[in-house]
């Protein structure tokens, strides 16, 4: 909503800033020693009401190094909270990308 489909606003207001993400864990994957955790997010909110027309958002966290214990504690279909640095947003798939995530 705050970026209003303007990439410059997205870059200025979000990229590189720290955010906390909470939601139901959809998947946990590993690639070359790096873990990625995907969360099911809420429907985007426009104004004061969420809209059923828009797809649900998903948050994908690439975990920081040495987070094996935090990742091991996560379970699919269970709620979890991670904190990470905003990397980007894919408006086509409604995916928020965080990196260097740590467990909370």
pLDDT digits (tens, 9 = 90+) for 69-80: 999 999 999 999
- Are 97 and 42 in contact by the 8 Å Cβ rule? The answer is no
- Tell me the percentage of the chain whose pLDDT exceeds 90: 53
Q: Which residues, listed in sequence order, are joined to residue 84 by a DSSP beta bridge?
A: 19
pLDDT of the residue at 82: 94
pLDDT of the residue at 9: 79
Average predicted confidence (pLDDT) for the chain: 84
| DSSP for residue 64 | P
Tell me what the mean pLDDT of segment 10-32 comes to: 90
pLDDT of the residue at 7: 72
Report the relative pairing of strands 58-63 and 95-103 from DSSP bridges. parallel
Residue 98 structure tokens: 């965080």
**How far is CA 48 from each of CA 1, 31, 35, 45, 97, rounded to the nearest angstrom?**
12, 39, 35, 7, 24
Q: Which residues contact 60 (CB under 8 A, 6 or more apart)?
A: 36, 37, 38, 39, 95, 96, 97, 98
Q: Per-residue confidence at 20, pLDDT binned at 50, 70, 90?
A: very high
Among 38, 36, 35, CA closest to 23 = 38
Residue 103 CA from chain centroid, whole number = 13
């Amino acid at each position: 909503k705050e970026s209003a489909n303007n990439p410059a606003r997205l870059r200025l207001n979000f990229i590189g800033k720290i955010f906390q993400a909470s939601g139901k864990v959809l998947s946990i994957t590993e690639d070359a020693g790096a873990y990625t955790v995907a969360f099911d997010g809420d429907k985007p909110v426009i104004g004061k009401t969420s809209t059923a027309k828009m797809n649900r958002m998903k948050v994908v966290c690439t975990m920081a190094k040495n987070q094996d214990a935090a990742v091991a504690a996560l379970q699919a279909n269970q709620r979890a909270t991670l904190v990470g640095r905003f990397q980007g947003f894919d408006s086509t798939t409604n995916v928020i990308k965080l990196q260097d995530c740590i467990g909370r």
